[in-house]
C-alpha cells in the first residue's frame, strides 16, 4: 500500500494499473491518494524539505515551515484509515521510511491490534542534530508505537536510542544485544492512561536480489551492450558514477577529486574517463535545481581544463537508465566511485559488485555510506570531504594489480550474496515475530499475511 506518486489520480485508473501488477506478482495492492496540498506539505515539505536534509546532517537545506507539520500528521492519519479498512487483525503491518513515522501512533488511535514494524531506509541523526527539529518529541513518541523499529546500521540504532532516552518518558534499555536492543518506557494509551511498553530496536541492513542481478548481468543483451561500451572507450579505463540528483550524494566532491587526480597524475590524461549518470529527482525543489546547475558548471570547467581533440575526461548524462544499460555500465566500469556525504545504505554499491561477474572491478566507497559497514571487506573507503584522499584512492584503484582487484571483488560479492534482500526480509519478520514485544489483547501474527505501507 502506498501513494501512487501523482495528485488525485482517478481510483479507476490506479485500480487498473494495480490489477495488472498484482496479478503478475501475486500481490494485493492499494493506492492512497494525495491532494496537491498534501503533496506540497507532506511529501515535498515535511518529508523532503525537513526530514531528508536533517537526517543527512545538512541543516542549511532544512525549511522548518510550521505549516508542514499538520499536513504530515493528516497524511499519516489517512494512511492509517486506509489500513484499517484493508487489513484483518492477524495481519502484520510493515511500515517503510521517514514519510510514515507517525503511522504506528495513528493505528493505535484507531485501536488496531495488529503487530507492526517500521524500517528506516535513511540514516537517523545524532541527538545534536535531532534536537533542531521542532517536532522531535512527537516523532519519537510516534515511532515508539511500533513493536519493532529497524535501522540500516548500528550507528543509526545507537543515535535513535540516545534520542529516545533524552526525549521519551522513563526510557530504559532492558537488554542490548549485537543486533537487537529491547527497550522499556512509559507510553500513553489510547484511553489516556500511562502504561509500560517494551519494544525492539534492531540493526537490519537492507540488500539486493544478488542472484537475479548477477544472472541478468550475464545475459546476451547486456554482453552485447557492454561490447559496444568497451569499443567506445578505446581501451581507456572507465570510472563510473550513478546517482539520483541529490545534494547528499557528494557529486561535486567526486568531480573535484577527479580534477585533482588529473592534476597530480598527468600520465592518466587521455587514459581514463569518468562517466557520470545523474538520474532526475525532485526537480521542483529549488535546492535540487541549483545542484544540477552546479554539477554542470563543474563538469564544463573540468572538461575545458583537460580535454584534447580526441578525449573528454567527464561524460555527463542527465537521464534515467534502463536496467539493461545500467548492468552494461556496471560490467564495463573498471571503478565505481560512490561518494555520498551520508547515506542510509547505498544499494548502487551492492548492485555494482553483484553485476561484476568478471570480478575485475574496484569499488571506491564513502565511509559515510551505510554500505561501508558491510563492504569494507573489499572496498577502498574514503572520506568524501577529503578531496586529496579520494584522489589518491582513485589513483590506487587505477594502478591496482589484477590479483588484488580479483581478491577484493570476490570478498565483496561473497558478502552481498550471503546477505541478500531475502535474508534481510526474513530477518525482519523473524525479529517482528519474537515474543519480547507484547501484543494488544487478541492479536496474533500470521507470517503469511504481511501488509507493507510505503
Pick the CATH number of 35-207+421-453 from 3.40.50.850, 3.20.20.100, 3.40.50.150, 3.40.50.2000: 3.40.50.2000
- pLDDT at position 25: 82
Please name every residue paired with 155 in a beta bridge, in sequence order, or none if there are none. none
Extents of the domains making up the chain: 35-207+421-453, 210-418
- pLDDT at position 448: 42
- pLDDT at position 450: 65
CB 333 within 8 A of CB 364: no
Closest CA to 253 of 221, 276, 235: 276
All three cell numbers of 348: 548502487
- Give the fold, CATH level 3, of 210-418: Rossmann fold (3.40.50)
CB 325 within 8 A of CB 221: no
Intrachain domains 35-207+421-453 and 210-418 with the same fold: yes
Burial classification of residue 293, based on how many CB atoms lie within 10 Å of its CB (0-12 exposed, 13-18 middle, 19 or more buried): exposed
The single-letter DSSP state of residue 291 is H
With a threshold of 0.75, does the pTM exceed it? yes
- pLDDT at position 207: 98
CB under 8 Å to 328, separation ≥6 — which residues?
222, 225, 226, 228, 229
- DSSP letters, 306-357, are H-BTTB-SEEEEES---HHHHHHHHHH-SEEEE--SSBS--HHHHHHHHH-T
- Residues forming the active site: 121, 343
- pLDDT at position 200: 96
- pLDDT at position 9: 55
In this prediction, the residues of the chain whose per-residue pLDDT falls under 50 are 437-448
Amino acid at each position: 500500500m502506498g501513494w501512487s506518486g501523482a495528485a488525485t489520480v482517478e481510483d479507476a485508473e490506479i485500480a487498473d494499473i494495480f490489477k495488472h501488477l498484482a496479478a503478475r506478482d501475486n500481490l494485493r495492492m492499494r493506492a492512497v491518494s494525495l491532494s496537491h496540498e498534501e503533496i506540497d506539505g507532506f511529501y515535498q515539505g515535511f518529508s523532503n524539505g525537513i526530514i531528508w536534509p536533517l537526517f543527512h546532517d545538512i541543516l542549511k537545506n532544512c525549511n522548518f515551515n510550521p505549516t508542514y507539520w499538520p499536513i504530515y500528521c493528516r497524511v499519516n492519519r489517512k494512511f492509517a484509515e486506509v489500513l484499517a479498512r484493508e487489513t484483518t487483525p492477524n495481519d502484520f503491518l510493515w511500515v517503510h521510511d521517514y514519510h510514515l513515522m507517525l503511522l504506528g501512533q495513528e493505528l493505535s488511535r484507531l485501536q488496531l491490534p495488529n503487530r507492526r514494524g517500521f524500517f528506516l531506509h535513511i540514516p537517523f541523526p545524532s541527538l545534536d542534530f535531532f534536537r533542531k527539529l521542532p517536532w522531535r518529541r512527537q516523532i519519537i513518541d510516534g515511532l515508539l508505537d511500533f513493536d519493532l523499529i529497524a535501522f540500516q546500521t548500528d550507528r543509526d540504532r545507537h543515535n535513535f536510542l540516545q534520542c529516545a532516552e533524552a526525549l521519551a518518558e522513563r526510557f530504559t534499555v532492558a537488554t542490548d544485544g549485537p543486533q537487537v536492543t529491547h527497550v522499556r518506557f512509559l507510553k500513553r494509551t489510547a484511553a489516556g492512561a500511562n502504561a509500560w511498553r517494551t519494544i525492539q530496536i534492531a540493526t537490519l541492513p537492507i540488500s539486493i536480489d544478488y542472484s537475479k542481478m548477477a544472472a541478468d548481468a550475464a545475459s546476451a543483451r547486456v554482453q552485447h551492450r557492454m561490447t559496444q561500451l568497451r569499443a567506445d572507450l578505446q581501451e581507456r579505463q572507465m570510472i563510473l558514477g550513478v546517482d539520483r540528483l541529490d545534494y547528499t550524494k557528494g557529486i561535486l566532491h567526486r568531480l573535484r577529486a577527479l580534477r585533482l587526480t588529473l592534476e597530480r597524475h598527468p600520465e592518466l590524461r587521455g587514459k581514463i574517463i569518468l562517466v557520470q549518470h545523474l538520474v532526475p529527482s525532485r526537480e521542483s525543489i529549488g535546492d535540487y535545481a541549483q545542484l544540477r546547475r552546479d554539477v554542470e558548471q563543474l563538469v564544463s570547467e573540468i572538461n575545458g581544463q583537460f580535454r584534447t581533440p580526441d578525449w573528454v575526461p567527464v561524460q555527463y548524462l542527465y537521464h534515467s537508465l534502463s536496467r539493461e544499460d545500467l548492468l552494461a555500465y556496471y560490467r564495463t566500469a573498471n571503478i565505481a566511485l560512490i561518494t555520498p556525504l551520508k547515506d542510509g545504505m547505498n544499494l548502487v554499491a551492492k548492485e555494482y559488485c553483484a553485476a561484476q561477474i568478471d570480478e575485475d572491478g574496484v569499488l571506491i566507497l564513502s565511509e559515510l555510506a551505510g554500505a561501508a559497514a558491510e563492504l569494507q571487506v573489499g572496498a577502498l573507503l574514503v572520506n568524501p570531504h577529503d578531496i586529496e584522499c579520494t584522489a589518491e584512492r582513485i589513483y590506487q584503484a587505477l594502478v591496482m594489480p589484477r590479483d588484488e582487484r580479483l581478491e577484493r571483488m570476490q570478498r565483496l560479492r561473497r558478502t552481498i550474496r550471503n546477505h541478500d534482500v531475502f535474508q534481510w526480509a526474513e530477518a525482519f519478520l523473524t525479529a517482528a515475530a519474537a515474543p519480547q514485544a507484547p501484543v494488544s489483547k487478541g492479536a496474533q501474527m500470521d507470517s503469511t499475511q504481511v501488509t507493507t505501507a510505503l
